[in-house]
Structure 1
Amino acid sequence: MTDEELAEIVRHLRKLGADDVEVEAKRAATKLPKSVRETVSAFANTRGGVLVLGLDEAAGFAAVGVEDAAKLSADLGALCGEDLEPPIRPVIRVHRFEGADLVVAEVPALEPERRPCFAKGAGMTQGSYLRVGDGDRKLSSYEVQLMLSSRGQPRYDEEPVPTAGIESLDTKAVDEFAARLRDRRPHAFAGLATEEVLRRAKVLAGDRVTLGGLLALGAYPQEHFPQLLVTFVHYPTPDGADVASGERFLDNVPFEGAIPVMVGDALAALRRNMSRRATVRGAGRVDTWEYPEAALREAIVNALAHRDYSPAARGTQVQVEMYPDRLLVRNPGGLFGPVTEDDLGEEGLSSTRNATLLRLLEDVVIPGTGRTVCENRGSGIRTMITALRQASLSPPRFADKVSFFQVTFPNHALFGPDIVDWIRRLGERGLTDSQCLGLAMAKNGDVLDNKAYRSASGLDSRRATAELGDLVGRGLLAQLGGSRWTRYELTPEAASAASAPSRADRRADVLAALADGDRNRTEIAAVTGLSDKALARWLRILRKEGLVELIGTAVRSPNVRYRRTGKALLDEDRR
């Protein structure tokens, strides 16, 4: 970590007024606080993080420093290597910051197959922690079990159900499944009797039905596992029940049966509870559902296919909750394997907890639709994001909490008539469709950073950075923070949709700054008050118009100088 990166971290903490999910500050004047073990364990079990010793949170993150930085660094290294299992090897450095010595440790995240990291003295169950918000929380025994199961490929879906024989399967679904396999995968299944097809596909283990087979093809799986179902609740207010009227919910339905049946029934209930809205598309208006069905289907299928089916989780349902302002789908068991929240939707990344179940669902049809439950190509999240993008809705929000995973769909169209009118009043020419999308997200109060912008627009990171930088240069967005905390929000002028000339056109200011001779960008910025990105944009425009030129050719050098051209002087004389 560089001194500049540390300064950015401290600025972030001071602005936030609290620790961050990825940063923990401790006073630690003379010795390591006891809570350091918990913090290092929590960072290692989550996404990694930065531990800063010598900052006093109670004093607004003042740099009070540590007395003996060398000793404290050695003690921290020994604690991470000797007191924790598995050992953690953070990068530890001493920084001189605001006249004080700070010890900074960059704690790496452990690979899933090595978690959980725990304090040896407390043991795995009592000494494993997780980073939540700005604090460290002890892992529950269930969460420890989930982490242990992620060290390999769980096989719960292949376990035989002692109370379920072949008579527990839906005969029609079995016949269609076997016929499909014989047709699509003849090398493995052609010529086999139905029971042999089921055994080879791991629907049967001996004379018992496997858990995956029961969930995919069972007549009534809840006879054996009463809580392996989907519950749907439609609440009347954003907070749930309407306390004033006493109305607890608008709809409350459990969905039972095999997974294909539950998916079909859940989608039917959602359609019954959704309304339609008018969405602006180009020059016209289109009536659409509140949420696109493709996104809902993928969310429900993912929840059922990727949930935890270990014995400890079989008492927990998949939950679908609808509120006036959002819809969420929650399942037991967080993300499995190497996939993280940041990776979701990235091409080529896929990992599944229930490999056999997912393979079965690839060849099982949702009743009445003619389509299989899933494709098993790792494309579900991308399909979900794309469906929302095409419907001009905000991208989904994902939350991976180890014990559960949740996807939330905000209920507002990004391009309603008011947003379209606001973008038109900005008076900006040359905005791309994705930039209009980003502006709409910011106007609607969504979090806007590079990842959210990429998710909503489908752009790669390089293009997203360039487009966001252009919006900053136009004076429409303000960049807040830096490095990993960079996010964007509307400038006050853009939020109020002031007219373009009074807000955006700074040609005259830049030319005036060059009236007395050539200057570099730092000098021009000091005169005009423009941000670096805004200044770069106006210099680029003025160069294109032939009004400003470079002295030399190193356009990317911070010391390159600019001057007005003869054309600019001639235009000024004419005025």
Structure 2
Amino acid sequence: MAEFQNIEFKSEWRDEYLKTLCAFVNTKGGELIVWIDDKGNAIGVKNAKKLLEDVPNKIKNKLGITPSVISKIERGKDIVIIEVPATSLPVSCDGKYFQRSGSITSELNGNELANFLLLKYEKTWDSLASEANFNDIDMDTVNLFKNLAKERVSSLSDEDSIEKILYNLKLLTKDKKITNAGILLFGKNPQDFYISAKTRVGRFKDSNILDTVISEGNLFNQVEKAVEAIKKHLNVRFQIKELARQDIWDYPLDAIREALINAVIHKDYSSAAEIQVKIYDDSIWFWNPGSLPEQLNIEDLKKEHSSYPKNPLIANTFYLAGLIEHWGSGTKRIIDLCREQNLREPEFKEEHGGIGVWFYKNTDIYVKKNLIKLGLNERQYKALIYIKENGNITNSEYMNLANVSRQTATRDLDLLVKLNILEKKGITGRGTEYFLTTHNDS
């Protein structure tokens, strides 16, 4: 007979099963059905009355809760059903905490235990007091926040002190200690307190690493440093739209920034792992330690959804600074921005003990719908296909391919050069050849 997260079958009672009941209490409650074996056969018990007296006392003494213990007849045999409810506060058994995952009972330790206790006491890691003091706060970042937040925080004044700003943002505890969120957001060097509060950006060729940049500092600075580190390894072209030049990167920069902000908001800062960004030839991977809240699944991230930020104080400060639109919209915005650039839809995955986001490059920028969006005509599209197959094209070859005059051929090719799609080599005239632009990726 199958066992579930909230049901377990036992052929006899043992005191060690108090751990299982403790796990039920700390999860969603559950039932321990005794004297039924794993195959669902009712074995039965002769002293059910005595157990109905003993088991509740043992549970109350060890776990501090009152269970429901009943006896019933199953296939002509007495069985005992022990039911315990979920509780709002954490429950221990012999000083240890247990939780249920599927049909497995496991002891909580380390970061897992810390996060469990925070959740039970309705606290978040970013709301706890840090060891930082006001000398550790970076005034430049405070002033940056003042400028960014003026639209959304009308009461904010240039004259406001650091203490007042942090207090209004709920970044001070009741006894005026700077919270973890406060030092991460506004600290001169938060890594003095939390060494893994950083973002590691790497450029990879297959599995070989070509370049690494570690982005440190407070979260405002860290996000921007990481964006700049990523841009170093991206190609950029431009298009002329309404007489203005518009840069087109391999991936939308706003989507990259959104992914980084999501990572710092949802990171499990009690973990020793850093936020990671891995740049490959055809993709970028963003990863932060942590897990999805139990209210959400991966499919929910593809649409607007309720927000359950791991670090709500950090999320709220980024919102007030105008760096996120509104809670629960970030992942959907990432998808929309990539679609607008005709890129494959990003993928969200639970992997390696965290949340991964994969961006995929349009490895062929010469896809016809993209070129039409750039304002290219059918002649230019055919010419690019020709160059891909033959390596280059001359003015004369373009004239023959498109059946146009030299003047039209020159005008078409010059536009492709201006858009940074083609590069021209050789002297003016018969020696001029046009090649697909080569981008350097250091």
What TM-score, normalized to structure 1? Answer: 0.46
Pick 1 or 2: higher relative contact order, CA cutoff 8 A, min separation 6. Answer: 2
Report 1:461-500 matches (<5 A). Answer: none
Q: Give the structure 1 partner of residue 356 of structure 2.
A: 408
Letter matched to residue 222 of structure 1: Q
**Could you tell me which residue of structure 2 aligns to residue 39 of structure 1?**
20
Say whether the 8 Å CA contact 2:118–2:125 is kept in structure 1.
Answer: no
The residue aligned with 1:463 is none
Matched residue of 2:197: which SS? Answer: coil
Task: Name the residue aligned to 1:396.
Answer: 348
Question: What is the CA-CA distance between 1:139 and the residue it aligns to?
Answer: 0.8
* 1:135 matched to 2:104: yes
Residues 1:53 and 1:377: Cα distance change in structure 2 (over 3 Å): same
Cα gap change, 1:356 to 1:26, in 2 (>3 Å): closer
Helix, strand or coil at the partner of 2:44: coil
- AA paired with 2:92? F
- Aligned residue in 2 for 1:422: none
Measure how far apart 1:296 and its partner are: 5.9
Match of 2:319 in 1: 362
**What residue is the counterpart of 2:156 in the other structure?**
189
String of CA shifts for 1:430-461, please: whole Å, max 9, x gaps. Answer: xxxxxxxxxxxxxxxxxxxxxxxxxxxxxxxx
Matched residue of 1:254: which SS?
A: strand
Whether 1:331 aligns to 2:283 is: no
Higher helix share: 1
Instruction: Give me the whole-angstrom Cα distance separating, in 1, the residues matched to 2:40 and 2:66.
Output: 26
Shift in Å at residue 140 of structure 1? 0.8
**Uncovered stretches (5+) of structure 2, i.e. residues with no partner:** 237-247, 362-442
Consecutive unaligned residues of structure 1, counting only runs of 5 or more, are: 1-9, 14-18, 277-287, 365-371, 414-575
> Counterparts of 1:184-263 in structure 2 under 5 Å?
184-186=152-154, 188-190=155-157, 192-193=159-160, 195=162, 198-201=165-168, 211-223=180-192, 225-232=194-201, 247=208, 249=209, 252-263=212-223
Shift of 1:181: 4.0
Report whether the alignment pairs 1:64 with 2:35. no
- RMSD (CA atoms): 5.1
Quote the Cα distance in structure 2 between the aligned partners of 1:294 and 1:45: 41
User: What is the identity, as a one-letter code, of the residue corresponding to 2:222?
Assistant: M
Q: Which residue of 2 aligns with 1:118?
A: 92
Q: Aligned equivalents of 2:25 and 2:223: distance in 1?
A: 36
Residues 196, 130 of structure 1: CA spacing in aligned structure 2 closer, same or farther, 3 A cutoff? closer
| 1:252 to 1:35, Cα distance in 2 relative to 1, 3 A | farther
C-alpha contact (below 8 Å) 1:298/1:380 kept by paired residues: yes
* In structure 2, distance between residues paired with 1:350 and 1:95: 47
The reply to whether residue 377 of structure 1 matches residue 311 of structure 2 is no
Aligned counterpart, 2:113: 144
What letter is aligned with 1:330?
N
Percent identity for Structure 1 against Structure 2? 21
SS at match of 1:189: coil
Judged with a 3 Å threshold, the aligned counterparts in structure 2 of structure 1 residues 89 and 397 are, in CA distance, closer, same or farther, namely farther
Q: Given the superposition, is the C-alpha separation of residues 53 and 396 from structure 1 closer, same or farther in structure 2, using an over 3 Å criterion?
A: farther
CA contact (8 A) 1:157 1:210 kept: yes
SS at the partner of 1:165?
Answer: helix
Q: Amino acid of the residue matched to residue 408 of structure 1?
A: G
Using a 3 Å threshold, how does the CA distance of structure 1 residues 308 and 133 change in structure 2: closer, same or farther?
same
Q: How far off is 1:257 after superposition?
A: 1.9
Aligned residues between the structures: 341
Mark the CA change 1:51 to 1:275 in structure 2 (over 3 Å): closer, same or farther.
Answer: farther
1:363 to partner: Cα distance: 3.6
Work out whether residues 191 and 198 of structure 2, in 8 Å CA contact, stay in contact via their aligned partners in 1. Answer: yes
Distance in structure 2 (CA, Å) of the matches to 1:35 and 1:325: 50
- Residues of 1 paired with 2:28 and 2:278: CA distance? 28
- Per the normalisation by structure 2, the TM-score is 0.57
Indicate the SS of the match to 1:131. Answer: strand
Q: Which amino acid aligns with 2:184?
A: L
Distance 1:353 1:396, change over 3 A: closer
